[in-house]
């Protein structure tokens, strides 16, 4: 009997690389789908992230040693020839001396050979097991470092040599990108869509879908094109045990969150009042609007990459930075915005009743209703007055705007007994576990739960569990304070229902979800404001400031908006000073007048404006 296995590795918080945003969510989503939708056994679907629970007695923290040990242990004790293995990795990849490496959490760009996982060794060890292997690698390049070299060419060559099915997120010369709007890397988002729509039943179908949909998804979000690289061996593989959807069912469309609605595009000139008040711009900047955007196929037929009989991989379906054909809806303002639904009214039913009878019926009925309402109000007058008075006392003023979501970034208050905390830390040290690693704390809790009631150390173990649980929540709060909401929520999930702190963890997670959504929305607004900037054009800075002011005090991202606004106001003033230095006082005055009142440069701009006005006169 063929067994199906999955190993999903996703790393956001690297020790020595810039943190990623979606790698952990990528791995969690892939592992969750394989278990819940396709029939993979939970015990055969293993997750390795910085916050994942232990795998049996072993830590799941994605270090090089833990990853390699897991593979060796499975090969020695569990895997059988012809079993199917999905090996998914989302994180950094590095090419060093023409060799490709996957970087574990402690990976160091200056010590790649010692800290990286060499792909040749990894793929050879998988090949000798006799498994049917599918490698899916969403690899990010370490942009701007000495490890920023094209990654993937050796992996594809090794896949051909070893006849291992392999799909990479992009061509070696391209970059993989993440999307805060989708919550995943573009490649993994396409992969999940393929699986949900029933396109993962065979390697060929999966590869064809990824090759066409990944660049389309990038284009839809105005990002550089990614063309997945792949090698499909001639040997046929059944990569999934079951399918959730029938093969004939239509592909489910991806519904993008409402934050996509604020798109990056150039603003109309200030003097163009018609364009500024167009229906599109009103919708773009309107507050409290909910608009769903839907990605449609850009063509009725998608050219499939041809695989040669010997298993060579095809060229990119779409050239890098090539603009894909898009539908008229997508061409409009960069996103598909559904047109408003038409109003349909049912035809009125004509009755041949005489007019005087209709008047009596309607008039008499209306009078009866008014009389009943008046009687009810008179009988309950005192009650209504009391309710109005209590409402007025509790709400002396009513704001016309929705109050911003309060920040919950402050660390969760800890009321632990110092002695119990010291004891818990001592026990962690005895197990060689770290108080700063949520996975280690979760492993310690799992070990302590094995002590049964009535045993000598039971009460001490319960005290330790309480301390470690609080430490997990504190670590989650620290992540939230850094706007790493996905990490914070993932860490909080380590608090199980059996823990007293479970309700507190659930409440914190819900607040962080709301704050994360607000943060994404505000970040999108700030991205749109930045896109309005035209160097040397003062009016563009003024418009960017007006857009950035939509991020309200107390909301996540406000400090970034405030810094940007002050910086742009200074740039407006600098442009005005340059024009005054050239003797063009009229233009300098007009430019300085564009500095808004709420900005740091406003007072200086007003002083300069008065001086230039005097010189002009």
Q: Measured between alpha carbons, how far is 6 from 164 in angstroms, rounded to an integer?
A: 15
In this predicted structure, what is the pLDDT of residue 362? Answer: 62
Per-residue model confidence as pLDDT tens digits over 109-157: 889 999 999 999 999 999 888 899 999 999 988 765 555 578 899 999 9
Instruction: Show the CA angle centred on residue 64, arms to residues 59 and 65, nearest 5°.
Output: 55
In this predicted structure, what is the pLDDT of residue 157? Answer: 92
Q: Measured between alpha carbons, how far is 367 from 451 in angstroms, rounded to an integer?
A: 76
Q: Measured between alpha carbons, how far is 63 from 115 in angstroms, rounded to an integer?
A: 9
Q: Measured between alpha carbons, how far is 291 from 271 in angstroms, rounded to an integer?
A: 29
Per-residue model confidence as pLDDT tens digits over 248-271: 444 444 444 433 333 333 333 333
Tell the residue number behind the tokens 């070893």, with chain if given: 162
What's the pLDDT band for 41 if we cut at 50, 70, 90?
very high
Per-residue model confidence as pLDDT tens digits over 469-526: 999 999 999 988 888 888 888 888 888 888 888 899 999 988 888 888 788 778 878 8
Model confidence at 401: pLDDT above 60: no
Q: Measured between alpha carbons, how far is 104 from 89 in angstroms, rounded to an integer?
A: 10
What's the pLDDT band for 297 if we cut at 50, 70, 90?
very low
Q: Between these two residues, 313 and 501, which has the higher pLDDT value?
A: 501
Q: Between these two residues, 404 and 74, which has the higher pLDDT value?
A: 74
In this predicted structure, what is the pLDDT of residue 523? Answer: 80
Per-residue model confidence as pLDDT tens digits over 428-440: 888 888 888 888 8
In this predicted structure, what is the pLDDT of residue 145? Answer: 55
Least-confidence region, from 18-32, 338-352, 354-368, 543-557? 338-352
The token pair at 263 is 């798109």
Residues facing 132 on adjacent strands: 84
In this predicted structure, what is the pLDDT of residue 364? Answer: 64
- Answer whether 0.85 is exceeded by the pTM: no
372 and 438 Cβ atoms separated by less than 8 Å: no
595 and 605 Cβ atoms separated by less than 8 Å: yes
What's the pLDDT band for 328 if we cut at 50, 70, 90?
very low
Q: Pick from 129, 136, 130: which is nearest to 152 by CA?
A: 136
Q: Measured between alpha carbons, how far is 257 from 255 in angstroms, rounded to an integer?
A: 7
> What SS3 state is found at 81?
coil
Tell the residue number behind the tokens 């390049």, with chain if given: 141
The token pair at 288 is 């409290």
Model confidence at 8: pLDDT above 90: yes
372-379 mean pLDDT: 62
Q: Pick from 407, 411, 417: which is nearest to 472 by CA?
A: 411
In this predicted structure, what is the pLDDT of residue 526? Answer: 86
The token pair at 173 is 């010369």
405-414 mean pLDDT: 42
Q: Measured between alpha carbons, how far is 29 from 26 in angstroms, rounded to an integer?
A: 5
290 and 258 Cβ atoms separated by less than 8 Å: yes
Burial 229-240 (b: 16+ CB within 10 A, else e): bbbbbeeebebb
Quickly list DSSP for 161-178. HHT-EEEESS-TTS---E
Q: Between these two residues, 74 and 234, which has the higher pLDDT value?
A: 74
In this predicted structure, what is the pLDDT of residue 345? Answer: 37
Q: Pick from 43, 52, 53, 60: which is nearest to 3 by CA?
A: 43
Quickly list DSSP for 323-373. PPP--HHHHSTTS--PPPPPP--PPPPP----HHHHHHHHHHHHHHHHHHH
Q: Measured between alpha carbons, how far is 398 from 384 in angstroms, rounded to an integer?
A: 19
In this predicted structure, what is the pLDDT of residue 379? Answer: 55
Per-residue model confidence as pLDDT tens digits over 452-483: 988 888 898 999 998 999 999 999 999 888 88
What's the pLDDT band for 559 if we cut at 50, 70, 90?
confident
Q: Measured between alpha carbons, how far is 553 from 373 in angstroms, rounded to an integer?
A: 45
- Mean pLDDT, rounded, of the chain: 75
Q: Return all residues near 476 (Cβ < 8 A) that are at least 6 apart.
A: 412, 438, 487, 488, 489, 491, 492, 505, 508
In sign, the C-alpha dihedral spanning 542, 548, 552, 558 is negative
Q: Measured between alpha carbons, how far is 359 from 115 in angstroms, rounded to an integer?
A: 89
């Amino acid at each position: 009997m063929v067994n199906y296995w999955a190993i999903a590795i996703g790393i956001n918080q690297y020790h020595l690389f810039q943190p990623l945003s979606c790698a952990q969510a990528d791995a969690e989503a892939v592992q969750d789908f394989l278990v819940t939708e396709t029939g993979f056994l939970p015990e055969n679907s293993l997750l390795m992230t910085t916050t994942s629970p232990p795998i049996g007695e072993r830590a799941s923290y994605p270090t090089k040693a833990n990853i390699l040990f897991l593979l060796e242990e499975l090969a020695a004790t569990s895997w059988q020839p012809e079993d199917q293995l999905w090996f998914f990795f989302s994180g950094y990849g590095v090419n060093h001396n023409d060799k490709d490496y996957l970087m574990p959490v402690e990976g160091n760009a200056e010590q790649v050979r010692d800290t990286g996982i060499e792909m040749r060794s990894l793929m050879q060890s998988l090949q000798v097991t006799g498994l049917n292997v599918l490698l899916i690698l969403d690899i990010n390049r370490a942009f701007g470092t000495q490890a920023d070299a094209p990654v993937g060419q050796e992996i594809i060559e090794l896949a051909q040599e070893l006849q291992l099915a392999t799909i990479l997120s992009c061509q070696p010369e391209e970059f993989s990108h993440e999307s805060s709007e989708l919550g995943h890397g573009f490649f993994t988002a396409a992969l999940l869509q393929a699986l949900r729509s029933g396109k993962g039943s065979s390697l060929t179908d999966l590869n064809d879908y990824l090759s066409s949909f990944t660049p389309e998804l990038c284009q839809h979000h105005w990002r550089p094109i990614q063309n997945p690289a792949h090698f499909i061996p001639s040997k046929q593989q059944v990569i999934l045990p079951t399918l959730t959807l029938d093969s004939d069912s239509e592909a489910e469309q991806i519904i993008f969150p409402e934050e996509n609605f604020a798109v990056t595009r150039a603003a109309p000139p200030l003097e163009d009042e018609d364009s500024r008040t167009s229906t599109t711009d009103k919708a773009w900047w309107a507050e409290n609007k909910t608009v769903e955007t839907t990605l449609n196929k850009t063509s009725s037929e998608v050219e499939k990459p041809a695989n040669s009989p010997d298993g060579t991989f095809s060229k990119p379906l779409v050239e890098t930075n090539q603009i894909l054909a898009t539908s008229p809806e997508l061409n409009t303002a960069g996103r598909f915005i559904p047109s408003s639904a038409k109003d349909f009214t049912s035809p009125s039913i004509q009755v041949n009743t005489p007019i005087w009878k209709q008047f009596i019926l309607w008039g008499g009925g209306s009078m009866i209703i008014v009389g009943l309402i008046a009687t009810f109000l008179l009988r309950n007058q005192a009650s209504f007055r009391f309710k109005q008075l209590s409402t007025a006392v509790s709400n002396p003023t009513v704001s016309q705007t929705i109050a911003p979501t309060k920040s919950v970034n402050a660390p969760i208050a800890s009321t632990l007994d110092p002695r119990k905390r010291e004891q818990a830390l001592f026990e962690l040290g005895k197990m060689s576990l770290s108080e700063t690693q949520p996975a280690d704390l979760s492993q310690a809790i799992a070990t302590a739960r094995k002590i049964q009631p009535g045993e000598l150390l039971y009460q001490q173990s319960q005290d330790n569990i309480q301390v470690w649980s609080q430490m997990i929540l504190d670590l989650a709060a620290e992540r939230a304070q850094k706007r790493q909401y996905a990490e914070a929520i993932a860490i909080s999930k380590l608090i199980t229902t059996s823990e007293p702190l479970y309700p507190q963890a659930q409440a914190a997670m819900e607040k962080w979800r709301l704050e994360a959504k607000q943060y994404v929305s505000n970040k999108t607004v700030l991205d749109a404001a930045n896109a309005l900037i035209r160097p040397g054009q003062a009016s563009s800075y003024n418009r960017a400031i007006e857009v950035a002011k939509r991020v309200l005090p107390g909301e996540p991202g406000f400090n970034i908006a405030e810094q940007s606004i002050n910086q742009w106001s200074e740039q407006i003033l600098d442009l005005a000073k340059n024009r005054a230095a050239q003797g063009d006082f009229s233009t300098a005055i007009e430019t300085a007048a564009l500095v808004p009142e709420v900005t740091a440069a406003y007072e200086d701009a007003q002083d300069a404006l008065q001086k230039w006005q005097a010189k002009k006169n």
